Structure formats: structure tokens, C-alpha cells
Structure 1
Amino acid sequence: MNNNNQQRGFFSNVDWVTVLLYLALCIIGWLNIRSAVFDESNPGFLDTDTQYGKQFIFIVTGLVIGTVILLLESRFLSSLAPLFYVVTVLLLILVLAIGHNVGGNQAWIDMGGGFRLQPSEFAKFSTCLLLARYLSATNVKVTDVKSFFIAGGIILLPMLLIKMQPDDGSTLVFCSLIFVLYREGLSPLFLIVVGLLITLFVTSLMFNHWYVIAAIVAATVAIVLTIKRNRPLIFKIVAGALISIAFVFVVKPLYEHGLKPHQRKRIDVVLGLTKDNKGVGYNQNQAKIAIGSGRVWGKGYLQGTQTKFSFVPEQSTDFIFCTVGEEWGFAGSVVVLGLYLFLLLRIIIIAERQRAPFSRIYAYGVASIIFFHVLINIAMATGIMPVIGIPLPFISYGGSSLWSFTILLFILLKLDSNRMGIIYG
């Protein structure tokens, strides 16, 4: 009797607003997957031979997984974080040996029955768990060099293994966890430096490097003249300017020898350095046409011509937002983006009300990964960023993706439901 009351208590403490947002995004995804692959000769909703039929199964099983997580003990999640991490690392190693190659990435393990498991998706929640466990430990401060490098190593290991597949999109997702370190005390200067390096990299590709160097020198002189007598700060600014100038000189060699030809072409297309609407730029060009053709209110469900005639490749997965834009229009796109924004704000609210550092740190890991996925996927579909191939959370087709995001989110819901009973760990 006590166990039943306890379980009802856990469920009553669940943040149902977040659950409803999760369900809304899953349903939107299911409907848009159906539209993306719709066949008039087979108009049913639940045919398991179709992607939308399989996605319905993934959603139902995802809800089962979420319910099981809510029934677990919260401390179980923290204590087994190292085991989860080790298992996913072993799976990432295994996929390099026996993995199934799809689209040039050896990222899937064939499970039989037409189902494939993508370990890189599950590495996201296991990395968040172990990072939260480590950073919440006593005497661990991200401002300490040792702690910073250990935390960085936790993030870097799965990144390197995923890069070997090679899956650049999933690799970059782990970079979002830098925001977790920032929330836990990492200096804002670190993020500023990273932002400046990215800016220098892009501008050095777009303009003559002498123009970029001239801009650096002019900005440095202006700042030094403003500061005047603060010699230690002037020394740091001048040193930073010299490092920036040196970086500008190595951008082109890094770009030409560090990236593969197709990766350089994708970046060139986005930066406007080249135009290739029939080659590397085809996907993004068709994606922009599809989204733009929806105008304000869209063409209507199952009425998208770009969608119906498969002009946009991978439209049920990486480019699913094109279906939203074409058939639901600007209004529908705003609704979808609004749901994501509401979800992210809700996760941050959940994070800040946690009494346990472990739960707070994990929550920010969840927010960072979901934010990065949404930002990059939509920027990719609208031509703002190069195509790197990452799914739109809860909406893109795929069992591994949906289940991993479900696990990621429901672990947070479980920790939050018991926040008053967890103070440490």
C-alpha cells in the first residue's frame, strides 16, 4: 500500500507541462513524417511498413521507456552514471568494428528485423549523467585546471569515437556541453575567445587576410587608446591581437588540409563563396524553396508539392522542418519554434529549482543538447549553416533519436519529481 502511495506521489510531482510539450512535438513529428513519405495508394496512419507507422511504434515504446524511468529510484540514476557511460563508449567502439554504413557513416549496429541502433544518440544522455556526477562531487570546481581537463575528457572521449565513424554532426553536438561548464563557473572569457576565433575563421575565408589583419590592428589601437594607463590590460590586449593575427595566417591551411572536399564545398556554398545548386548546394537550395513556398499559412496538410514529389532529400529526417514550412507555412513554423522555446525555458526553470547540484548540472546538459540540435537543424534547413546532418528533436524520423531524447528528458523529469528528497549527489 505504501509503495502504491509512493508511486502516485512521484507521478503527482512530475512536471506535466514538460510532458505535454514532449507529446505535442512527437505528434507534430509523426504527422509531418507521414506527409513527407505519403503514398496515396497506402493512406493509412499505422502501417508498420511505412516510416510513420514505425515512428508511431517508436513513440509508444518511448512512452513506455519514459514511464519506466519515472518508476526508478533517483539515486539509481546517479550511482549508475559511470556504468551507462562505459556501456555507450563500448558500443561506440563496437560500431567501428561491426557497424552498418549508411550515407558514408559507420554509425549503426544492425539489430535484425530491419531495426538499427545508433550508439552516438545514446552517448548524449550517458555523457550528461557522468559529467553531472563528476562536477557535483565534493571539491570539484570547473575553475581548477585538473577538474576542467577531467570534465573536458568526459566530453571529448565520445566525441573522438563518433568522429571516427565519421559523424561530424553528432560530434559537434557534444560541444554544446561547454554551456554546462559555463553555468558551473567557467570564465565567460573562454566563450568570448571561442566566439572570436569562429568569427576570425569565417571572416578570413570570406575576405583577404590583409583586410582582416588591418581590422584587428585598428580595433587594438582604438582599445589601447581608450584604456591608456592600464599597462597589464594593454599587454593582454596586444598579446591577444598578435595571437589573432597568427591565427588568421593559419586559417586557409587548416581549412584546405583539415576538412574534406565535400565539407569545404558545403561551407563555401553557405558563405556565398561559390554557387552549386545542382551539386553540394542542392539539398539546401531545395529546402529553402520548400520553406519559402509555404508563405504565411502553408499549402495545407499533404498538399506540399516539394514534399510530395521528393525534391528535398532526407525530408523525413534531417530536413523535416521543410515539410513544416511548406505545408504549415510561417505560422506553423512559429508554433513549432515556440514549442521548442517553451520547452527550453521550462527545462531551465526546472534546472534552477533543483536542490542537488547533480540534478541542476544534468538539467543544463539536457537544455544545451536540445538547444544545439534545434539551432543547427533549422539553420541547416534554412541555409544559414552547412549541412551536417543532425535530427530535429522529437520530430525527425528515427527510433534511436526519439528514444535517446526521451531518455534524456525523462531522466530530468524523474530527478525533478524527487527534488525535495535529493539534496546531495
Structure 2
Amino acid sequence: MTNNRHNGIFYGVDGWTVLLYVLIVAAGWISITSASYDDSAADLLSFSHFYMKQLMWIGMAWVTAIIVLLLDERFYHMFAYPAYLGGIALLVAALLFGREVNGAKAWFEFGSLRVQPVEFAKIATALALARVMSEYSFSINRAGDLMKVAVVICIPLFIIILQNDTGSGIVLGSFLFVLYREGLNKWLCIPVLLIAALFIVSFLLSPMTLLVALILVCTLSEAMMNGQWRSRLVFLAAVMLSAILLCLVMALIAPGTLDLYHSLLTTTLAAVVFAAVYAYRSNLANIFITLGLFVGSLVFLPTTDYIFNSILKQHQRDRILSFLGIISDPLGTDYNVNQAKIAIGSGNFWGKGFLEGTQIKYGFVPEKHTDFIFCTVGEEWGFLGSVVVLTLLCLLILRLMRMGERQQEPFGRIYCYCVAAILLFHVLVNVGMTIGLMPVMGIPLPFMSYGGSSLIAFTILLFIAVRLDASTRQFSVHKL
């Protein structure tokens, strides 16, 4: 006989996850209250204040969470594709008819209410990705199936970039972590990471320095794949030959008549042909992988200028150059980050106390209740409070990963890891940009930054995972 309590909506729900959620949301509301509190206001309980509006959004988020728990877990699997198509439609509609805010045409405005569709598109993309990858015949290392995954991720990514909301689009890159968890070959992950790394270092290093760096990196990677010293020496000899040929060419050609990088590319490709032929005759297959990465890197590097100058907007270029230390603009591009670091640093260990943060209170930190909400935590709660908040967020992410591991169906496991990846990326970037370790991207701190779209979307994202996990736990109990 089944106990009646098994029919309750909270039966099987992971209580620790819900508790962590409540604590983080409460910490966020306290921070928003401190960041937007004005003791000179006539009516402190008016909904014109950000903290009162956020309180309303919190109530709506909790109602939404209950609705998510009431729905059958099969609903999310069944409507994953329709939700994805709906998310794409909303992104396109925002691109065509939306309101531009801070340079991004990514908002719908209904009177005083603003809605950002990209937050809900992340949920739809996570559901669609879980649906595609949980198909019976799916194989992560089959080219056709991997192409399906790429299409699911890249369509919303492309639209979001067109909206000039690059920061939100890059969040979808966190799904690479999910693909790796599901068995994607590590050598397919490396090119993606290599592209990001090359894009950054291309601004910092000269072409010759880049050549030397690529030689060392590729030689090391080949050595890790193949323990034979002969193959290592062959590859090293090939790339060294390319460097010698480069020096000879540049010595014979008058300075300025031929671009340095094109000389480097031509001579290096000649050396690569020699190394590839030798590797083929010697059955050293791993060298082909390394050579592929090496040549791909050389071919990609000239495109960084086009991406930087033609695709990125001026403020995005300034943020990247400022982050890399190439330019300095204390009263412009660097102002937000500098003030954020001052605010966090002034909190010391214990913090200044609730409503006592001077940097926050007197408006030195812009966007102090949204993207830079962590500054309020750092200044008023100090190092100790910051560690507590980050610990709660990390525990929530680890809890999601644990929930994913105990799923009996691939759909639930993949979705839980998608949620964990999105939250992890948001936390790393948001906190990183406030302390100067990441460029400013304008993405919120989950469950803490002010905003109804963000809070409700993150709540739906999280509680779908909670619902899927509750179904698994209920099934396990009934099975016993």
C-alpha cells in the first residue's frame, strides 16, 4: 500500500537544494535592500523602491517554483523541442521589435515592466540539449550527432550575438562542460579552449613570440600523447626547421615588403608537410593531431583582428583591452571595476555592517544592485560574508551535480549538469569581473542580482532539475 504522503508535491524534493536556494535568495534581497535603501524617502514600503519590487519578484518566483513541481516530469521531456522553438521565436522577436538597453536590443518593455527573453532561452536550450543527447541512438563522438548538438547551441548563440548581448551568449559556451561529462573526446574540447586562449594572447604577444609559444605547447601536447622520444624529436625538428626557414626568408626580403605573419605561415606550412610525411611513414598517428592543432592555430590567428574590429562593439573592445592592461581609462572603462575593487577591499574581514557601506551608499559603484551586487556583499559583510555567499553558491552547484549523477535517465542527468554549468559560469564571470579577474560582461549573479526576469528564469531552471530529481527519488522508494 502506498502511503498518502507519497502523493504530496514535496515528496522526494531535495530539501538541501531548496534550503540553499532560499538562503541565497534571502542574501540577495538583503544586499539589494542595502544597495538601494534611501532613508530620506517618504514611504519606505513603496513599490517604487528596488527592494520592494524584488520582494514581489521573490513571491512570484516561489509561486513559479511550486507550479514547476506540480507538473509531471514527463512534461519537460515532451515539450523540450516546443520550448526551444518558443525560445528562439522570443529571441528573434526581441531582436526585431525589442527595446535597446545598454546597447543590447534584448528586452521587451510593457510599461514599467521589462522582460529579457535570453534568460528563458537558456532554459529552453538546456531542455533541448538534454532531449537531443538523451535519444536512444545518440553518440557524443559521432559526427552527425555532434552536429545536432552544435546546431542546438549555435542558433540561439548567433541570435544573442546579433542582439549585441555577447555576455549572455557566451554563457551557452558553458555547455562544453556538459559535453565533456557525457564523454566528448578531450581532443575535440581542446580546439575550443585553444581558440579562446589564442584570441586573448594575440593582443599580448608578437607573431614571433606566438610562434615560439605554439612550438612549445604543441611539442608538450604531442609528448603527452606519445611517450616515444623519436616522435617528439621529429616534431620539434619540423617546427624548428620552420623557424630557420622563416629567418632565412626574412633575411632575404627587404623589411616591410612582406608581412611577417604571412612569411611565418608559409614557411611553417612547408615544415609541417615534411613532418606529416615522416609521421605517416613511421605510423606516428598522434603527430597528425598535434600538427592539426598547430596549423589550425596559425590559420586562426589572422582572423582575430577581424573579429575584434568588425564584430565586437567599441565598448566591448575597450573592456577587453582594459582587462588585458593594454589601455588605461580610470574615469571611463576602468571606473566600474576600480570602484568595485575599492568597495570590496574596504570591507576588510568583518565588513562595515548592514546599510553602512559608504562606497555603495553614496553611489560610487554603478549598477550596485544588479551586475555589481557582489560589491555590496564585500563591503558590508566583508571577507567572511563573501566566503559564506560563495560557499552557498558552490554547494548549490555541487548539489546539482550530485542530483545529476543519481538520475536513472540520461535526460535528467544531462539537464542537471546543464543547470550546474550555467550557474557556475555566471558565478565565475560575475564575481570575477567585480574583482578585476574577468572582463565586464554584464551578466547577473544568480538569485542575488536585482531583476524579475533573472530571478524567475533561474528559479524555473533550478526547480525543473529539482522536479526531475524528485521523480527519480520517488521511483527508487516505490521500487523498494
Question: For residue 203 of structure 1, what is the aligned residue in structure 2?
Answer: 201
Tell me how far apart the structure 2 counterparts of residues 44 and 328 of structure 1 sit (CA, whole Å). 27
- Give the TM-score normalised by structure 1: 0.93
Q: Quick one: which of 310, 316, 324 aligns to 1:263?
A: 316
RMSD: 2.1
Tell me how far apart the structure 2 counterparts of residues 134 and 251 of structure 1 sit (CA, whole Å). 32
Question: For residue 339 of structure 2, what is the aligned residue in structure 1?
Answer: 286
Question: For residue 191 of structure 1, what is the aligned residue in structure 2?
Answer: 189
Residue 352 of structure 1: CA displacement? Answer: 0.2
Tell me how far apart the structure 2 counterparts of residues 45 and 142 of structure 1 sit (CA, whole Å). 55
The structure number with the bigger radius of gyration is 2
- Give the TM-score normalised by structure 2: 0.83
Question: For residue 161 of structure 2, what is the aligned residue in structure 1?
Answer: 163
- 2:12·2:474 contact (CA, 8 Å) conserved in 1? no
Question: For residue 48 of structure 1, what is the aligned residue in structure 2?
Answer: 47
Whichever residue aligns with residue 242 of structure 1, its letter is V
Tell me how far apart the structure 2 counterparts of residues 22 and 349 of structure 1 sit (CA, whole Å). 16
- 2:191·2:293 contact (CA, 8 Å) conserved in 1? no
Please give the residue correspondences for 1:19-418 in structure 2 after superposition, counting only pairs within 5 Å. Answer: 19-42=18-41, 46-112=45-111, 114-220=112-218, 227-230=228-231, 231-418=284-471
Tell me how far apart the structure 2 counterparts of residues 95 and 320 of structure 1 sit (CA, whole Å). 26
Residue 220 of structure 1: CA displacement? Answer: 4.5
Tell me how far apart the structure 1 counterparts of residues 464 and 164 of structure 2 sit (CA, whole Å). 28
The question of 1:13 aligning with 2:15 is answered no
Tell me how far apart the structure 2 counterparts of residues 153 and 217 of structure 1 sit (CA, whole Å). 33
Runs of 4+ displaced beyond 4 Å: 2-6, 43-46, 218-226, 420-423
Q: Secondary structure at the match of 1:152?
A: helix
Q: 1:14 to 1:253 in 2, by over 3 A?
A: same
Tell me how far apart the structure 1 counterparts of residues 301 and 118 of structure 2 sit (CA, whole Å). 33
Residue 272 of structure 1: CA displacement? Answer: 0.9
Question: For residue 254 of structure 2, what is the aligned residue in structure 1?
Answer: none
- 1:213·1:248 contact (CA, 8 Å) conserved in 2? no
Q: Identify which range, 412-421 or 228-237, moves more after superposition.
A: 228-237
Tell me how far apart the structure 2 counterparts of residues 152 and 264 of structure 1 sit (CA, whole Å). 27
Summarize deviations over 1:359-416 as a string: whole Å, max 9, x none. 1011011001000111111111111111110000000000000000000011111111
- 1:356·1:422 contact (CA, 8 Å) conserved in 2? no
Question: For residue 260 of structure 2, what is the aligned residue in structure 1?
Answer: none
Aligned residues: 420
Q: 1:96 to 1:203 in 2, by over 3 A?
A: closer
- 2:404·2:414 contact (CA, 8 Å) conserved in 1? yes
Summarize deviations over 1:263-298 as a string: whole Å, max 9, x none. 111111111111111111111111111111111111
Q: 1:76 to 1:270 in 2, by over 3 A?
A: same
Q: 1:392 to 1:79 in 2, by over 3 A?
A: same
Whichever residue aligns with residue 339 of structure 2, its letter is Q
Unpaired segments of 5 or more residues in structure 1? none
Summarize deviations over 1:60-91 as a string: whole Å, max 9, x none. 11001101111111111211112211222211
Whichever residue aligns with residue 383 of structure 1, its letter is G
Residue 211 of structure 1: CA displacement? Answer: 1.1
Q: 1:239 to 1:40 in 2, by over 3 A?
A: same
Q: 1:249 to 1:214 in 2, by over 3 A?
A: farther
Whichever residue aligns with residue 298 of structure 1, its letter is G
Q: Secondary structure at the match of 2:203?
A: helix
